[in-house]
Structure 1
Amino acid sequence: MDERVARLKTSQDACKFAVNARQKGRPDLEAEALQRASELKAAEEGYTSPAQQAIALALYAYEDEQSRRKGRTSRAHRTRRMLKEYGVLAAAERMVLTRKPSTGYEVLEEAGLQELSFESIIDRFPTEFSPIAVEAARARLEGRPPPPGARAAALLSEPSAAAAEEELPNPDPVFDDEARMFLEGFMDPGAWSLAGWLPLYRATVQAIDRALSEGRPQDTFETLWRNQDNAISHAGQGLLKYETVDAMRDEFVQVIRDIHEDGSPANFERIVERFEGWRAEGRIGMVPRLLIARAFAGIHPERYHTTVDATRQNQALDWFATHTGFVVPRSTSWAVRAQALTAHLDRAGVFEDVLARNIFPWFVVDQLRARTMPPGIPPGHTPRPELALVDLPPARRVIVLRHNAVQTALFAWLAAEFGNQNVWTEYPTGTGGYADAVARRPDGRWQVYEIKIADTAGEVVRQAMGQLLEYSFRTGGLEPLKLVVVGEPVLDGITGRFLARLRTDFHLDIDYLRIEVPALT
């Protein structure tokens, strides 16, 4: 290096020297001055050791190359944030331990600057980094797959949920108005979440726990890997082919054992990595992340809630962050985030039953789905199963059974009127409740139906009115064109005139629909 360049003390001085050198036709001195400017800038920004300074130079080279490509100044904000949050060496490890090369690696490689990549730096300074990071860096440089354990190591390098709470302010949960409204609707003992889903969910996790406690993990194989809906979560399109699962039965049973032994988020990532290995070998067609999460949720309900789809969970996390003060972990791992959310809900102190706690995030997701158009909810009607009613008091059970019969008959009537594809029962209202039925009119507007079991039409209307108004016009509600009260009694004259006055004097489009069903035996 030219002595004049070596004597420069600040990055600003070095940049000025480079400009002067270019103007005087000395590209050799310009290059040396720019190199010196990067070195001085690294020191000024706190990069001290040779490995840290090399990482800083790699960062600057990446930013310069991106600026050249885009024709404007470009800053690697995400990388800089990681370097600040995790520390320089730890952040470099995290990026090298990922399954796919980082954008920085690809950009530098395409520019012929691979020697500046984090992978090359880790290879040059192996004693500064973990053995698994060194192995992963060398594998990428040589074009080999990442070594076993790289993904789990990446997770372990992330802050745990507890550590994240220490680094970021995480106050006790405070439920705002919408959160309290959702919670109130969720806690309604007659609502589907607690009256319908919870008993089935409880039966499933109790059966899993009993089988595992007695050393029979094979007895949970069907429930965890083959059943589309096991009352923990519906797998949707996330199931593996049955022939694939059956051919690997022993391996899948071993996964159950391993999850039972270690329910930590780190083990979740190790299990995912095992499946990725099977996919690479051609033994499975995809990595069933939802099924893996569902297995963790079923085996360790004390840790994990039932919203096992990562995208849906993220929707719930955003809502909890907005309405309850939840701090979303920086980790994108489903398990890390799920465990953090259940801990947050425990601190709220509103759930005596952890299984009810585990259902609440999905209840939130379900309510939010009602606020989108078109709704992401399949139309149709599923009668409430008998098992969901066994714990109800006898008088309440009779009412619910009658309600179910009327609801089934109502669905048939509406399907004939509007078409099966335009009718839903137990439809989330976006206000924390569920409408007994909704129908979508040809113009796209809703009609909302609320069933009540009572001896007179007047009592039916009295019981249904408040819910219809809340479901329809509260913030986030359905905003329907028409409200319909549904009951079995004949509409009497007084109640009919009352509804007519609501329509004429108050411009509230509300009506009464009588549905007759046979007596229950």
Structure 2
Amino acid sequence: MDERIKRLTTPELARTFAKNARERGHPELEIQALAHARTLQGIQAGYTTPAELAIASALYAYEEEQSRIKGRTFRANRTRQMLAKRGALGAAERMVLSPQPSVGYEVLQEAGLQDLSFEAIIVQFPGEFSEIAVQAAQARLDGRPPPIPPKPSADCDVDASAPVVLDSEAREFLAGFNDPSIWFQANWLPRYRTTTQAIARDLAEGRLDEPFDLLWKSIHNDISNAGRGVLKYDTVDAMRDEFLQVLREIHEDGSPANFEFIVERFETWKTEGRTDKVPHLLIARAFAGVHPQRYHTTVDASSQDRILDWFAQHTGHQVPRSTNWAVRAQALVKHLDRVDVFGRDIHARNIFPWFVLDQLRGRAATTNGPPGHSPRPASAFADLPAAQRLLELRHNLVQNALFAQLEEEFGAGTVWTEYPTGTGGFADAYVRHADQSCTLYEIKIADTATQVVRQAMGQLLEYSFRAGGLEPVQLFAVGEPALDEATRRFLERMRADFNLEIDYLQVELPDDTSALVN
């Protein structure tokens, strides 16, 4: 290095020297001065060892080249965050072990600065890095496929031998979930199973168009509802080749480690302005859709964290310390397999966590389900014995009429049907009042009002006052028969002597409805 450059003590002085050297036609001095400026900048940032300073210099060289290309100052925020979080050596090793070369590597290679890449630095300082990282770095520099790194165990901080203990609430939730007539079982489960099977067939046969649309562009695809987590369609279409490649990589490697690599790639795209956000939910949904044997359907990380607390409290689940969605999701799936209540039905297993979330939201009156009523299809009862099927179909008709009656009385946007009770069940109808109090309705198909009240009361009390229940201000047993005098007096006594606000509501169906259930 030129002695004049060696005497420069700040990166600013070195860059000024480089600028002057370039303007005066001394490119060799410019190169030396820029290298010295990067080293001085690394020292100012707190890097000390030769390997750390080389990594810092590589970062600064990448930023300089990107600034030149873009015509404006560029700062590699994501890479800087990784260096701050993992340290210079750990961040460089992690990026080199990624299945795809980083943007920084490609930019430096294109500029003829490959010797400044993390790969070149790892090869230069092999004693500072793992053997697999050195092999991967050399392979990339040689243009060869990198070796496959060993997959870290997703459960490395979880004791898989810890006992699985279901308390009474967990058993009640499972019992409620296994009711074949609920929406989860009758509507969602068959659609979810069909969707994942179609994705598996398409990917196995190399057909990517349908999975591409389903996983990257659809708001709701029977795996999960992406809501506001979707990307702009124009963005997805403009980056179609990149998204198809991500889909291929997810298909080839469904590990939590690859999940994190994919997230980091999207973070790079966001930093470069190619996407407006990192679609964490879409990425998780893609992993869940392609690998249902490994991941459940609660793909929103904050929602998963909420249910993990419940599983820890009520089933003995040990939550991994890692905050990686895939690590936590895979650990929960393995825990549910150990519970051994779903048999080989991985799809039922995978939607049970969302059932739990639905119940917890019901407790807090924050259910995502909008007010309204979706009549259950007749096909939901097709496998039931004939007598039970008739009762369920009749129940459906009464529920339709009850919803219309309540909405007329209380107004649109105040009435839900099949509302999660927080105890593992679903209320036939639920009205939320302006003061956030609620009223509960339970339908029973019986010949007399006495029988309706007798059959409904247990569920109404459990939905209302069991731990985690809805605590309504009023309960209604709902049936078709007229209220008889004895039952009226009984309900009056419940209100007067026991302070239990319970009443009876008659719902009358038109005479021609009998043909609809036969």
Same topology, TM > 0.5: yes
Distance 1:94 1:369 in 2: 40
Q: What corresponds to 2:257 in structure 1?
A: 266
> Post-superposition shift, 1:93?
5.2
Contact 2:181-2:381 at 8 Å conserved across structures: no
For residue 160 of structure 1, what is the amino acid of its counterpart? Answer: S
1:425/1:437 contact within 8 Å kept: yes
Preserved CA contact (<8 Å) 1:212 1:260: yes
Match of 2:477 in 1: 485
Report the equivalent of 1:303. Answer: 294
What's the counterpart of residue 199 of structure 1? 190
Task: State the 1:417 CA deviation.
Answer: 2.1
Residue of structure 2 aligned with 1:427, choices 409, 414, 419:
419
Instruction: Give the match for residue 287 of structure 1.
Output: 278
Structure 1: which 5+ residue stretches go unaligned?
Answer: 1-49, 55-88, 100-118, 135-146, 148-152
Residue in structure 2 matched with residue 358 of structure 1 by the alignment: 350
Within a 5 Å distance, the mapping from 1:230-249 to structure 2 comes to 230-249=221-240
Residue 462 (structure 1) aligned to one of 445, 454, 466: 454
Matches within 5 A, 1:21-420: 127-130=127-130, 160-165=153-158, 168=159, 170-352=161-343, 353-372=345-364, 377-385=369-377, 388-420=380-412
Distance, in Å, in 2 between the alignment partners of 1:193 and 1:170 is 31
Rate the CA distance shift 1:256–1:404 in 2: closer, same or farther, 3 A.
farther
RMSD: 3.4
Task: Judge conservation of contact 2:358–2:367 (CA < 8 Å) in 1.
Answer: no
How far, CA to CA, are the matches of 1:351 and 1:332 in structure 2? Answer: 26
SS of the residue aligned with 1:370?
Answer: helix
- Does structure 2 retain, via aligned residues, the 8 Å contact 1:158–1:331? no
**Cα separation, partners in 2 of 1:376 and 1:213, compared to 1, 3 Å:** closer
Q: Give the letter for the 1:326 counterpart.
A: H
Counterpart for residue 16 of structure 1: none
2:441 is aligned with 1:449: yes
2: distance between equivalents of 1:261 and 1:205? 16
- 1:195-252 CA-to-partner distances (Å, cap 9, x unmatched) read 3321222222222223233332322233222322222111121112223333434443
Separation in structure 1 between the aligned mates of residue 320 and residue 129 of structure 2, nearest angstrom? 25
| Secondary structure of the structure 2 residue equivalent to 1:286 | coil
The answer to whether the Cα contact below 8 Å between 1:224 and 1:294 also exists between their aligned partners in 2 is: yes
In 2, Cα distance between equivalents of 1:399 and 1:93: 67
Q: Is the 8 A contact 2:372 2:416 kept in 1?
A: yes
Structure 2 unmatched ranges of 5 or more: 1-47, 53-84, 96-117, 135-139, 141-145
Q: 8 Å contact 1:440–1:447 — kept in the other structure?
A: yes
CA contact (8 A) 1:93 1:133 kept: no
CA separation of 1:446 and 1:252: change in aligned 2, threshold 3 A: same
Q: Summarize deviations over 1:304-329 as a string: whole Å, max 9, x none.
A: 01100000001111111111111111
Q: C-alpha separation between the residues in 1 aligned to 2:236 and 2:382?
A: 34
Residue identity in the other structure for 1:493: E
**Equivalent AA in structure 2 for residue 330 of structure 1:** R
**TM-score (structure 1 length as normaliser):** 0.68
Partner of 1:18: none
Match of 2:494 among 477, 499, 502: 502
CA distance in 1, matches of 2:88, 2:506: 68
Deviation at 1:340, TM superposition (A): 0.5
* AA in 1 matched with 2:505: L
The aligned length equals: 394
- Larger mean CA deviation between 336-345 and 482-491 belongs to 482-491
Letter paired with 2:466: R
* Equivalent position amino acid for 2:426 in 1: Y
Q: 2:464 aligns with which of 463, 466, 472?
A: 472
Query: After the TM superposition, which of the residue ranges 481-490 and 469-478 deviates more from structure 2?
Result: 481-490
How many Å separate the matches in 2 of 1:169 and 1:345? 12
The aligned amino acid for 1:163 is: C
Opposite residue 157 of structure 2, the aligned amino acid is A
